[in-house]
Homo-oligomer: A and B are copies of this chain.
């Protein structure tokens, strides 16, 4: 087999195991190494019986030569893992937050750590494929976007220019976004039959959304800084993010006009669909799709956009593979053109 040789760093978290699931059926890829922290020494199917076919040892570090490494470590640990991999000639798709914010100070303020390798920040490309496809192609380091920013940005980008620079993103997420580590916030009995807002004092995905909206505004020479009020909520489901975005229109526009703009913006995109009716997270379950539905609230002349996706696929591992496909010149949908599982 002569495909892309892949390593998955920290296969035992949800992003890691989802990478393994998808890459196992990717026809141009060979997973040659998987690592894990607590489970090193076991074989992958012992920990994840559903991956019985991928009978690899879980190693402490990627040893075999790889063309690309997916990093599914927590922040800071992720950045620490990158330089050695680059040194060995691998390219990197980092699913953590470590290379998403271009500004080191902003990163250190929000993540409360010193960045392990700030010298790489300039080089890293923000991996929202639809926005930065060109730069991703040649990148050594792709910073895979957060799950919430993916939903929010795909919901708002086509509206830039139409709206005032002050948006509200009220997001609802399933529990798997919080990872596989054990906390009271993902204890079944605490989460089931429960709904809550969290991070009211500010969530780390907010500066990421702001950065990219500002970047897109500047590209349009459309200037001013975007104010983003981002408020996440936890809802009792495993997978799925639904972002409801509110922004005031600069000038009156009809729902049909806005919609036409969105359709034009996403024409030809394989994974973003402008839907005919308000979308549901279940319509993306297990797939790399992001569904977007823009409309206008006539009374308040506000744009309202519903955007949804599977937080572990388009919000994490699926988009990471999409980026890898772009990096290695493969057809962008290879291995990730999964039909959503319904019901």
Query: Interface on A for B, CB 8 Å cutoff?
Result: 14, 17, 21, 24-25, 46, 48-53, 166, 168, 170, 172, 174-176, 180, 182-184, 186-198, 200-201, 227-229, 231, 233, 235-240, 242, 244, 246, 273, 275-287, 291, 293, 295, 297, 299-300, 302, 304, 306, 308, 337-343
Smallest CB–CB gap between A34 and chain B, Å?
15
A235 near B49: Cβ-Cβ < 8 Å: no
Task: Evaluate contact between A193 and B285: CB separation under 8 angstroms.
Answer: yes
- Complex: A186 Cα to B183 Cα, angstroms: 10
Interface pairs (24), CB distance under 8 Å: A21-B339, A21-B341, A49-B275, A49-B283, A52-B273, A175-B188, A175-B189, A176-B189, A180-B189, A186-B189, A190-B343, A192-B192, A192-B193, A192-B237, A192-B238, A194-B280, A194-B281, A195-B237, A229-B302, A235-B236, A235-B237, A236-B237, A239-B343, A286-B286
When distances are taken between beta carbons in the complex, the residues of chain B under 8 Å from A238 are 188-189, 192-193, 343
Q: Do A306 and B193 have beta carbons less than 8 Å apart? A: no
Contact A242 B191 (CB under 8 A): no
Nearest 4 pairs of A and B residues by beta carbon: A182-B182, A194-B282, A189-B343, A50-B340
Closest to A281 in B: B195
Alpha-carbon separation in the docked complex, A46 to B275 (Å): 10
A124 CB → nearest B CB, Å? 26
A228 to B298, CA, bound (A): 11
Q: A168, A190, A227: which has the most chain B beta carbons within 10 Å?
A: A190
Task: Give every chain B residue within 8 A of A17 (Cβ-Cβ).
Answer: 342
- A343 pairs with B176, CB closer than 8 A: yes
Cα distance A236–B282 in the bound complex, in angstroms? 11
A168 / chain B contacts, CB cutoff of 8 Å: 168, 246, 300, 302
**Which B residues are in CB contact (< 8 Å) with A304?**
200, 229, 231
Excluding A49-B291, A182-B187, A188-B192, 16 further A-B contacts by CB distance (< 8 Å) are: A21-B341, A21-B342, A24-B339, A25-B339, A50-B283, A168-B300, A174-B195, A182-B182, A188-B238, A190-B282, A192-B343, A195-B308, A196-B242, A196-B278, A228-B299, A235-B235
Is the beta-carbon distance between B339 and A280 smaller than 8 angstroms?
A: no
